[in-house]
Structure 1
Amino acid sequence: MAAKEAQVGATMTTHTTAQGKSAAMEAIEDVIYGSVAGIAGKYIEYPFDTVKVRLQSQPDHLPLRYTGPLDCFRQSIKADGVVQGLYRGISAPLVGAAAETSSLFFFERIGREVVYASGHYSRDRVLPLSALWFTGAFSGTFTSFVLTPIELVKCKVQVPTTTSTDGMAPKAPSVMSVIRDVYKHEGIRGFWHGQMGTFLREAGGCAAWFGSKETTTKMFYLLNERSAITQKEKDALATEALPLWQQAVAGASAGMSYNFLFFPADTIKSRMQTSPVGGTTQNRSFWQEGKALWGQHGLRGLYRGCGITVLRSAPSSAFIFIIFDDLKQRFPL
């Protein structure tokens, strides 16, 4: 009985519908609290994300500008200071983080409804981990269409301009100037340049994000149950939230899994989205860009910047899940 309840607790720690609460109110909570959690996580990870994009986007035909993450940090701070060098263009990513995280939790809930509607699982029983990995992939698929235009603008702002048409010192583009240039030269469709890379990263990565978090959470519930002596203690453990450090480990495992498994898709996407707008060179497709990168740098090129990305994803993802779960428990609508 306790083992079953522990399994229930593992999958109910995040966004489970409370009795008597409408689906609409649950969706509103997902959007509001997901936005807050996403913004908090973005402030933590953004400097590392800037370095990651700059490492990924170094051109093939020139010597590497940065020898590694630490060198990129050093050059960025030396050239523009901490704020401009590492937090340049954060306004759009903050909006993107709010949209991304709220969309992830919102569409994951819809994915659960799809699973229930299939008739294979009843609502009075806990979904197995395999189903929860599926709902993560479902969420990532739809969220990718929200993220691509936001990330395209972010990447173009983050990567320093290397040429200047007036002979003056290069000037970093603003969010609005990037939006105007993309629309002028490529129209609305241009904002979804790199969609294939975002789709592959989000569909696979979000399956790992939600799946790893739920799997690790379940593992902790089972381990905690073994340490309990009496049945009363076991029953109490199954209904209580995990200790904060265990919640953090579960969230961190989610972030690291998300970023490592599908990092090559993100690398190719970043290269596509940092290509010049309005030039004479035609935009490469996802597969053309990947083939060119593989031919130039091999597997190492596909994982350039992976270490720093996985490193920053651990605390960021941990904070996102902790903040989201805590807000859901403390301030139910």
Structure 2
Amino acid sequence: MATTDHVIPVKDERPMELASLPPSQGIEAFKDIVFGSAAGMAGKVIEYPFDTVKVRLQSQPNDRPLLYNGPLDCFRKSIRADGLRGLYRGISAPMAGAAIENSCLFFSYRIAQDVLKATLYSSSDSLPFSALLISGAASGSITSLALTPIELIKCKMQVPVESGGKPPGPLTLIASVFRQDGFLGFWRGQLGTLIRETGGGTAWFGSYEGVSHFFRGYSASPSDVEISSDQTSIPVYQQMIAGATAGISYNFLFYPADTIKSRMQTEDVSQTATNGERKTFWNVAKTLWKQQGLRGMYRGCGITCGRSAPSSAFIFTVYEGLRSYFG
């Protein structure tokens, strides 16, 4: 009769290792909101006078001679009429908008990356550049929903007031928009903002990540060719160059959508289409193209890119600095 050997299991005496827990999403979200808000408001103070000039150039009426021959002419006439204070008129709404926009951008950019890592990639892997572009697009499209109402009030406040008239305040304009167009009226121009922010978010984060990776390439090993945001920081001057490149890319590539949006948001309510309805995004685009062509689509683009370079450089540098300092 054959005997069977019984193997007695040996108890593993090694201590059990607990899986490391991911960082608190609540803390990370709080950092994105606070740091993004601080960076956005600081950048807005720098860029706002240039943004006012841009809106005034974009919103010149089609049926009358141009009020301004260019950015410098607009600066000169605006300061002569209202002083430097006039160029900062309406900054309260965009200051709030800058805080909301940048906190939402950085927060949703990180969340989009986390979702991609959880669904398509390993959480421990660095995301490829294409995934970073998708994250930037998602971040911009989400942000556009919060940004359109704020930009609507901002653009209305930036348009020059008729001689002798008193410029309306933000609360007056909010009440006026609600009375004329209802709650959904605050999202007039949403399609333009969506196009600008979705494409712009892709360009903004993509340019910053790409240029940052280019600078890291000098110190990285030859085998390290993957572009990822999860890498060591770069010197401040390189962050500023990457941020400036991001700002120019964001504004130049999708500037026509912003021009159309500004014209929609600053038109007089009494100006309606021939069928008695408010002009749509495509109506405004076709009219502008027929009357002024590509030049009209890009009116004010030069000054916009010029102010966005230092502003965006400052935003990324402040955000990265706060992230580095506070962990």
**TM-score clears 0.5:** yes
1:51 corresponds, among 46, 50, 53, to: 53
1:324 aligns with 2:319: yes
Q: 2-side partners of 1:304 and 1:67: how far apart? A: 10
Name the counterpart of 2:105. 104
> Counting helix residues as a fraction of each chain, which structure ranks higher?
1
Question: Does the CA contact (< 8 Å) of 2:208 and 2:242 recur in 1?
Answer: yes
Question: Does the CA contact (< 8 Å) of 1:182 and 1:277 recur in 2?
Answer: no
Q: CA deviation at 1:240?
A: 4.8
Q: TM-score, normalised by structure 2?
A: 0.88
Q: CA deviation at 1:243?
A: 1.5
Structure 1 residue identity aligned to 2:181: E
Q: 1-side partners of 2:188 and 2:235: how far apart? A: 42
Question: Does the CA contact (< 8 Å) of 1:55 and 1:304 recur in 2?
Answer: yes
Structure ranking higher on relative contact order (CA contacts 8 Å, 6+ apart) = 1
Structure 2 residue identity aligned to 1:243: P
1:90 aligns with 2:85: no
Q: CA deviation at 1:331?
A: 1.6
Question: Does the CA contact (< 8 Å) of 1:41 and 1:320 recur in 2?
Answer: yes
Q: 2-side partners of 1:19 and 1:104: how far apart? A: 25
Question: Does the CA contact (< 8 Å) of 2:58 and 2:299 recur in 1?
Answer: yes
Q: How does 1:147-296 map to 2 (within 5 A)?
A: 147-162=147-162, 169-225=164-220, 240-277=232-269, 282-296=277-291
Q: Provide structure 1 residue ranges, at least 5 long, that are not aligned to the other structure.
A: 1-17, 163-167, 228-237
> Which has the greater radius of gyration?
2
Q: CA deviation at 1:171?
A: 2.0
Name the counterpart of 1:8. none
Q: 2-side partners of 1:127 and 1:240: how far apart? A: 15
Report % sequence identity. Answer: 56
1:114 aligns with 2:106: no
Q: 1-side partners of 2:60 and 2:179: how far apart? A: 25
Q: Render the CA deviation track for 1:58-103: whole Å, top value 9, x for unaligned.
A: 00000000000000000000000001x2100100100000000000
Question: Does the CA contact (< 8 Å) of 2:204 and 2:246 recur in 1?
Answer: yes
Structure 1 residue identity aligned to 2:260: I
Q: Residue 128 and residue 264 in structure 1: after superposition, are their counterparts in 2 closer, same or farther (change >3 A)?
A: same
Q: 1-side partners of 2:235 and 2:322: how far apart? A: 16
Deviating beyond 4 angstroms after TM superposition, the runs of 4 or more aligned structure 1 residues are 278-281
Question: Does the CA contact (< 8 Å) of 2:272 and 2:278 recur in 1?
Answer: no
Aligned-residue CA RMSD (Å): 1.8
Q: Render the CA deviation track for 1:38-66: whole Å, top value 9, x for unaligned.
A: 00000010000000000000000000000
Q: TM-score, normalised by structure 1?
A: 0.86
Q: CA deviation at 1:278?
A: 5.7
Q: 1-side partners of 2:21 and 2:296: how far apart? A: 50
